[in-house]
C-alpha cells in the first residue's frame, strides 16, 4: 500500500483523497484550518470557520459533469449532497420563451446537475471523507522534504514539513492548497526550476446576496443563470434548503458602479430588471457580500519537456484557477482529480513518468477549459471597460471563430438544438471546437442567426443606471 499525502482539505483535495483511497492507497490529508466538520449543513453555513477558503460563503454552482463524475467515482458523496439538501437542477430550465419547440431530446439528462451553497457542498464532501481517509485539520504545511533524485538529478519530493516542525514522508505528495498555493516558492527552495506560471487579475468585482424562500418553493429562472447587460452582469444561482444567490458582477475599473455594494442601490438595480426582480422575493439571509481581486492563474510543472520535480503533482485551484463568473472551478477540479487518480494508478512506481503523464493528462483534459474560460473573461471585460471609458466597442472581429460564437449567442435564443449546443459549452460538457466540428452545425448557426436580431435583456441602460446612482 502506498502512502499519499494531500496538502489542503478543500473540496478538490478531499475528493482526490477519496478516489485514491478507493484505489487502495493509504491517504492522509493535511489541512491548515483547524475547525472540525460541523454537525449539520446549517451549522456549516452559519459558523464553519474556513479562513483558508476566502470564497467559502460566495456563490457556487456545480455544472453537470460534477454530478456524472460523482456518480461514477464517489457515489456516496453524491448521496451525501442530496442528504445535505442539495438540489437537482436542470440546465435546460433556463431555455427562453422564444423557443417554442419544447420536445425532449435523447440525452437531455446530461444537463441535470446537483448543486447547493458552498458550505453545504463542502460539509457533504468532508463528512464522507472523514470515514475514508485520515484528515488532519490544523496541520499547516510549510515546505517540502526531498530524497535521492529519481531521474536525471531532478529534485524528488519525499514528504513535507509542517509549521510545527513535524516531518511526514510519502510516496507521493499532491498539492491541493487552492488558489493561494505557494508551491512555486517551495519548489525553488528545494532547488527545482520554477514552474511556468501565467496570472492576470480578471478585473471583476462580485456583490452577492443570498435569499431564502418564504414558502419553500424556489423562484423560476426566467433567463440564463449568467446574464450580460451592457456594463454589468447578473449571476443567479439556485442553492440548497430553499436558498438562492443573486450576484451582481461589475468591472473593478468602474468606480461609479461600486456604489452598488450598498444594499439599497443593489436592490434597486435588481428590481429594475424584469427578468430578475422576482429573485428579490425571499428573506435575505446575508448582507451584500463583496469579493474582488480574483485572479486567473495557470501553472505548468513540465518545462522544456522535463518535470521541475518528481514526487509531487498539483490538482484543482492550486494548478489553475479562474474568474468565478462561469462557476467552473469545482467542475474542472473534479475532472482534474479523476485524471490525477488515473495517472497515479498507472505510474506510482515511476516518479518521472508519473510527472510527465500528469502534465499530459492535464494539458489534454483540463487546460483547454482553462483557456476557454479566460478567453471568455477577457472578451467580456474588454467590452465592459470600453463602454465605461466611452471608447468605441472593439470592431466586429474578423476571426471566424469569434463571428460564429456571436452568431450562436443570437441563434440559441430561437432554436432548441442550438440552445442545447450552447448549453453544452456553458455546462462544461463540450468545448466550442468540439461542438463546431459537428456536421452542419456552423451552417445552421449562421442560418438561424441571419433571420434574427440580438436581443438585450430588459433593464436599465448604463445612462439610466448612472442617473439611478447619482
Ligand atoms: C468568488 C468565487 C466564486 C466561485 N464560484 C464557483 C462556482 O460557482 N462553481 C465552482 O465550481 N467554483 C467556483 N469557485 C471556485 C471554487 O471555489 C474553487 O475552484 C474550489 O474551491 C477549488 O477547490 P480546491 O480544493 O482546489 O481549493 P480550496 O477550496 O481553495 O481549498 C484549499 C485548501 O488548502 C488549505 N491550505 C492552504 N494552504 C495550506 C497549507 N500550507 N497547509 C495545509 N493546508 C493548506 C486551505 O485551508 C483550503 O482548505 C469560485 C471561486 C471564487 C473565488
Q: Which three cell numbers stand for residue 407?
A: 452568431
Write out the DSSP string of 27-75: EEEEES--PPPPSSHHHHHHH---TT-TTTTS-----HHHHHHHHHH-H
Distance from the Cα of residue 464 to its chain's centroid:
33
Beta bridge partners of 283: 212
Q: According to the 3-state scheme, what is the secondary structure of 77-88?
A: HHHHHHHCCCEE
* Nearest Cα to Cα of residue 136 among 157, 101, 111, 166: 166
Phi, psi of 63 (to 5 degrees): -80, 165
How many degrees, rounded to 5, is the angle at CA 220 between CA 281 and CA 88?
A: 115
Of 119, 330, 373, the one to substitute when testing ligand 1's pocket (max ligand atoms within 8 A of C-beta) is 330
User: Ligand 1 centre from 118 Cα, in Å?
Assistant: 10
Residues 231 and 169: their CA atoms lie apart, in Å, by 52
Residues in the chain: 470
Q: Which domains does the chain have, with CATH numbers?
A: 1-199+295-394 (3.50.50.60), 204-292 (3.30.70), 395-470 (no CATH)
Is 56 near ligand 1, meaning CB less than 6 Å away? no
Is 316 near ligand 1, meaning CB less than 6 Å away? yes
Residues 175 and 312: their CA atoms lie apart, in Å, by 7
Q: Whose CA is nearest to atom 19 of ligand 1?
A: 329
| pLDDT, tens only, 54-110 | 999 999 999 999 999 999 999 999 999 999 999 999 999 999 999 999 999 999 999
Distance from the Cα of residue 49 to its chain's centroid:
21
| pLDDT, tens only, 239-248 | 999 999 999 9
| Cβ neighbours, 10 Å, residue 35 | 13
Beta bridge partners of 210: 245
- Cell 518545462 locates to 303
Continuous segment of H or E residues that includes residue 339: helix 329-347
* Nearest Cα to Cα of residue 165 among 139, 136, 134, 135: 139
Is 291 near ligand 1, meaning CB less than 6 Å away? yes
Q: Is 231 helix (H, G, I), strand (E, B) or coil?
A: coil
Phi, psi of 187 (to 5 degrees): -65, -45
| pLDDT, tens only, 121-177 | 999 999 999 999 999 999 999 999 999 999 989 999 999 999 999 999 999 999 999
Q: Whose CA is nearest to atom 5 of ligand 1?
A: 60
Q: pTM of the predicted model, to two decimals?
A: 0.97
User: Ligand 1 centre from 5 Cα, in Å?
Assistant: 18
Residues 466 and 256: their CA atoms lie apart, in Å, by 8
Q: Is 407 helix (H, G, I), strand (E, B) or coil?
A: helix
Q: Per-residue pLDDT tens, the chain, 470 aa: give them.
A: 799 999 999 999 999 999 999 999 999 999 999 999 999 999 999 999 999 999 999 999 999 999 999 999 999 999 999 999 999 999 999 999 999 999 999 999 999 999 999 999 999 999 999 999 999 999 999 999 999 999 989 999 999 999 999 999 999 999 999 999 999 999 999 999 999 999 998 899 999 999 999 999 999 999 999 999 999 999 999 999 999 999 999 999 999 999 999 999 999 999 999 999 999 999 999 999 999 988 999 999 999 999 999 999 999 999 999 988 899 999 999 999 999 999 999 999 999 999 999 999 999 999 999 999 999 999 999 999 999 998 877 666 667 888 899 999 999 999 999 999 999 999 999 999 999 999 999 999 999 999 999 888 999 999 999 999 99
Residues 59 and 257: their CA atoms lie apart, in Å, by 20
pLDDT of residue 323: 86
User: Ligand 1 centre from 155 Cα, in Å?
Assistant: 27
Residues 93 and 111: their CA atoms lie apart, in Å, by 9
Q: Whose CA is nearest to atom 35 of ligand 1?
A: 8
How many degrees, rounded to 5, is the angle at CA 130 between CA 128 and CA 136?
A: 145
Whether the CB-CB separation of 171 and 348 falls below 8 Å is answered with: yes
Q: Is 305 helix (H, G, I), strand (E, B) or coil?
A: coil
Whether the CB-CB separation of 387 and 230 falls below 8 Å is answered with: yes
Amino acid at each position: 500500500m502506498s502512502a499519499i499525502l494531500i496538502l489542503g482539505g478543500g473540496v478538490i483535495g478531499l475528493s482526490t483523497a477519496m478516489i485514491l483511497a478507493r484505489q487502495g492507497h493509504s491517504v492522509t490529508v493535511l489541512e491548515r484550518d483547524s475547525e472540525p466538520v460541523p454537525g449539520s449543513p446549517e451549522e456549516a453555513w452559519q459558523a464553519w470557520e474556513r479562513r483558508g477558503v476566502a470564497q467559502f460563503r460566495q456563490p457556487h454552482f456545480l455544472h453537470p459533469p460534477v454530478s456524472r463524475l460523482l456518480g461514477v467515482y464517489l457515489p456516496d458523496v453524491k448521496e451525501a449532497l442530496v442528504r445535505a439538501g442539495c438540489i437537482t437542477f436542470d440546465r435546460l430550465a433556463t431555455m427562453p420563451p422564444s423557443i417554442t419547440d419544447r420536445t425532449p431530446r435523447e440525452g437531455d439528462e446530461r444537463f441535470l446537475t446537483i448543486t447547493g451553497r458552498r458550505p453545504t457542498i463542502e460539509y457533504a464532501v468532508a463528512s464522507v471523507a472523514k470515514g475514508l481517509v485520515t484528515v488532519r485539520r490544523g496541520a499547516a504545511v510549510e515546505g517540502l522534504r526531498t530524497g535521492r533524485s529519481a531521474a536525471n538529478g531532478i529534485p524528488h519530493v519525499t514528504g513535507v514539513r509542517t509549521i510545527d516542525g513535524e516531518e511526514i514522508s510519502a510516496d507521493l505528495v499532491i498539492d491541493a492548497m487552492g488558489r493561494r498555493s505557494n508551491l512555486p516558492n517551495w519548489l525553488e527552495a528545494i532547488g527545482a526550476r520554477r514552474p511556468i506560471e501565467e496570472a492576470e487579475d480578471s478585473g471583476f468585482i462580485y456583490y452577492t446576496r443570498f435569499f431564502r424562500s418564504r414558502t419553500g418553493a424556489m423562484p423560476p429562472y426566467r433567463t440564463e443563470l449568467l446574464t450580460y447587460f451592457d456594463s454589468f452582469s447578473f449571476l443567479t444561482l439556485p442553492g440548497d434548503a430553499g436558498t438562492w444567490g443573486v450576484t451582481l458582477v461589475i468591472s473593478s475599473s468602474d468606480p461609479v458602479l461600486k456604489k452598488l455594494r450598498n444594499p439599497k442601490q443593489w436592490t434597486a438595480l435588481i428590481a429594475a430588471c424584469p427578468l430578475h426582480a422576482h429573485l428579490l422575493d425571499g428573506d435575505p439571509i446575508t448582507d451584500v457580500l463583496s469579493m474582488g481581486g480574483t485572479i486567473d492563474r495557470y501553472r505548468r510543472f513540465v518545462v522544456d519537456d522535463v518535470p521541475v520535480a518528481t514526487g509531487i503533482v498539483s490538482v484543482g485551484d492550486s494548478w489553475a484557477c479562474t474568474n468565478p463568473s462561469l462557476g467552473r472551478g469545482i467542475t474542472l477540479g473534479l475532472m482534474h482529480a479523476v485524471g490525477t487518480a488515473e495517472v497515479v494508478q498507472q505510474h506510482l512506481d515511476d516518479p518521472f513518468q508519473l510527472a510527465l503523464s500528469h502534465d499530459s493528462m492535464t494539458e489534454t483534459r483540463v487546460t483547454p477549459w482553462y483557456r476557454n474560460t479566460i478567453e471568455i473573461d477577457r472578451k467580456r471585460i474588454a467590452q465592459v471597460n470600453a463602454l465605461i471609458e466611452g471608447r468605441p466597442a472593439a470592431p466586429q472581429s474578423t476571426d471566424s471563430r469569434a463571428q460564429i460564437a456571436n452568431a450562436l449567442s443570437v441563434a440559441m435564443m430561437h432554436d432548441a438544438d442550438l440552445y442545447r449546443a450552447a448549453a453544452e459549452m456553458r455546462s462544461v460538457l463540450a468545448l466550442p471546437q468540439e461542438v463546431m466540428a459537428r456536421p452542419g452545425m456552423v451552417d445552421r448557426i449562421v442560418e438561424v442567426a441571419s433571420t434574427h436580431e440580438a436581443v438585450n435583456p430588459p433593464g436599465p441602460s448604463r445612462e439610466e443606471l448612472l442617473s439611478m446612482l447619482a
